[in-house]
Amino acid sequence: MKTLVIALALVMQATAGCGDQAASGTAADLPARLVGAWGQNEAHAKLATAGLELAGTTLAFGELTITIKQGAATGADDYRVDAAEAVWTRDTKPPKACKGTISRQGNVLLVKLFKEGTDARCESVLDGEWRAWTLTDTLPEGLRGVYGGDARGEEADIGLRLGDKSIGFTDGGNAVAVEQVLTWVDKPTSALLRRSTFRDFGCVGSITRTDDELVLSLTPVEGAPEGSVCPSGQGSRWSVDPKHLPAGTLDNGHVSLTASGERLTLVDRQGLTCKQAILHTAARSVTGSAYDGIPVTGGAVLVLEHAVPEAGADTCVTRLRNVASSLCAEYDLDRCAQAQAAVEQPVACPRQVVIGDPTQGGFKAAMLPATITNLTCWDMTGIFAATK
């Protein structure tokens, strides 16, 4: 009987030993907090993978794949790798055996894998701190908006417009169609454009906003046509301050200016009408206005979106023809040529409106640019008074 009991005990011990060995020969999935995409720099956004990707029992980084053969989680943020194999897509060598740990500290991932039986790094490309980022198809909300130069500059109406799925310029032209974006989890106003379409090629690069200053740095993807250029630039975030907008309607008997929300409606008595979005506003100092040649003192500048008249363009052309005829008859050859050239061009709405400080009876106002078209088609003389 004793012999039988001893035999049974030995069998049970042997069975238990086999079970432990089987358990140690499996790899549990990585904890949820380690799963996802991680990166260190802009170059990692251009890889076939979105930087370092962790899922299941696999780590993928470009052409490198590490498959965990034995391992287990030791906490929500930690994983012990007892055995793993590292393989490069184009490498003909046998898989490299690795072991070590993977851990997360806040939004930072640390991968410490060593060659089996040594203290040498398994793959040096995995060294350093990996920061969490998310892969989306839209730009983060913190980057969206319009950016450009000072509202008082000659090209103040030309700026960068960043939408949820596009990057373009306020004066029109082709826009970049956003397809894939990597956004740092702890940097909501910094992103890497990973994939996009611009004309017949793609653009990649970085977009960063610090306070209200944006820097856009995009370059063509490999294989783009020679000479290809992507939108890039920098500027300050534009905003519309209600205190710079006219209250109600201002009218000088020839032209009326009406602000509604962030749109300005310009109407000439002969029917010329422009309705434009207000892109930006800025204060204008009395001192500065003494040297810029604009016949308005102080006040504010309203920067307007590019547009063509909704009505009355033909009346503007008729005026230009009359002015051209008069100037040519007076042998004012330079201005005659300007007016004749303006007749041949599509009529465009003003790009800026300057409304001066309050004066006796109302306000002085001017339209920019001071082209012969704007000077001829919009009579800005006199005082603009508020009307109901």
Q: Which among 48, 27, 135, 146 has a CA at the least distance from the CA of 90? A: 48
- Residue 326, pLDDT > 70, answer yes
Q: Tens digits of per-residue pLDDT, 146-183? A: 999 888 777 888 999 999 999 999 988 899 999 999 99
- Window from 99-103, 107-111, 148-152 with minimum mean pLDDT: 148-152
Cβ 342 vs Cβ 372: under 8 Å: yes
pLDDT of residue 273: 97
Cβ 269 vs Cβ 256: under 8 Å: no
- Residue 294, pLDDT > 80, answer yes
Q: pLDDT confidence of 24, banded at 50, 70, 90?
A: low
- Residue 89, pLDDT > 50, answer yes
Residue scoring higher pLDDT (330 or 123): 123
If you write DSSP's letter for every residue of 217-283 in order, what string do you get? EEEEPTTPPTT-----EEEEEP---GGGS-SSEEE-SSEEEEEETTEEEEEETTS-EEEEEEEEEEE
Q: pLDDT confidence of 15, banded at 50, 70, 90?
A: very low
- Window from 116-125, 166-175, 322-331 with minimum mean pLDDT: 322-331
Q: Tens digits of per-residue pLDDT, 340-378? A: 888 889 999 999 999 999 988 899 999 998 889 999 999
The chain-wide mean pLDDT, for the chain, equals 90
State the pTM of this model: 0.78
Q: Chain-centre distance of CA 21, in angstroms?
A: 53
- Residue 136, pLDDT > 90, answer yes
Identity of the amino acid at 11: V
- Residue 327, pLDDT > 70, answer yes
- Residue 79, pLDDT > 50, answer yes
Indicate if the alpha-carbon torsion angle 307, 313, 317, 322 is positive or negative: negative
pLDDT of residue 260: 93
Q: Tens digits of per-residue pLDDT, 244-253? A: 999 889 999 9
Q: β-strands 166-169, 64-75: how paired? A: unpaired
pLDDT of residue 1: 43
pLDDT of residue 90: 86
Cβ 303 vs Cβ 351: under 8 Å: yes
Q: Tens digits of per-residue pLDDT, 40-65? A: 999 999 999 999 999 999 999 999 99
Indicate if the alpha-carbon torsion angle 254, 260, 265, 271 is positive or negative: negative
Residue scoring higher pLDDT (25 or 308): 308
- Residue 12, pLDDT > 70, answer no
pLDDT of residue 133: 94
